Chain A
C-alpha cells in the first residue's frame, strides 16, 4: 500500500461521486459513474483485494453502465429536480 496513491485515488473517487449526483444530464452521470467504478476498481486492486477489484471492473464499470444507459433510453435524458 502506498498512501500517496491511495489518497490521490480516493480524492478522484470523491470528485467523481460528487459529480455524479450534481450533473443534470443523466447520460453524463452514467459515464461519470462508470469512471467512479473504474477508480474504485483501481483502489481495490491497490489495496490488495484483487477479487473484489475484478468484480468491480466487470459489473460496475462494464455491465451496469450498459444497464443504466438502457434504462435512460426508456425515460427522459434530463433530470427534472
Chain B
C-alpha cells in the first residue's frame, strides 16, 4: 500500500483531537526526562546517546501526530543542521582542547589549566560537557532520519 502525496495530504487534514491532546500533554514530560537522562549521565545509567534519542523521539512523536510540516515550524531544517554540527563540534572541540593542552585525547583532567577546579572533578564534569554534545548530535540526526524516511527525502509531508 504505497501512499501517494495526495492521500498523505488528505490524511493530514483529518486531525484527531484525542491524539493531539495526548501528544501535547506528553511531550514536555518526555523532553524533561531526556534532559534528566543527559544531565545525570555520569551518575546513573543513561547518558548523551540515550537522552538524545529520547529528545529526538519526542519531536518524532510530534511529527507523527501533527504532520511533518508542522514539526518543521518548531524545529526548522537550518536549526536542525546547526544543532547537529554544534554537537559534533562540542565533542571534538573538547577532545581536541584536551590534546592541545598537553594531555591525551579526551583526557579531561588537563582542563584544570583553563578553569582551576580539582583535576579529579574535571574528569566528571568533562564527561558531562561531552555528553551534551553527543545528545545534541543524536537528537537532531534522529529527527532528520525520520524526516527523510517518512517523506522519501522531499521533506514535504510525512506519514
Contact = CB atoms under 8 A, between A and B. Distances in A.
Contacts of B45: 50-51, 53-54
A70 B159 contact: yes
Interface residues of B, number: 22
A54 B50 contact: yes
Contacts of B145: 67
Closest 8 pairs (CB-CB, A-B): A50-B45, A70-B149, A58-B53, A51-B45, A70-B150, A54-B50, A77-B1, A54-B45
7 contacts: A50-B45, A55-B53, A66-B57, A69-B159, A71-B149, A74-B2, A75-B2
Interface of B: 1-3, 37, 45-47, 49-50, 53-54, 56-57, 60, 64, 142, 145-146, 149-150, 152, 159
Given A66-B57, A67-B149, 5 more contacts: A54-B37, A58-B50, A69-B159, A74-B149, A77-B1
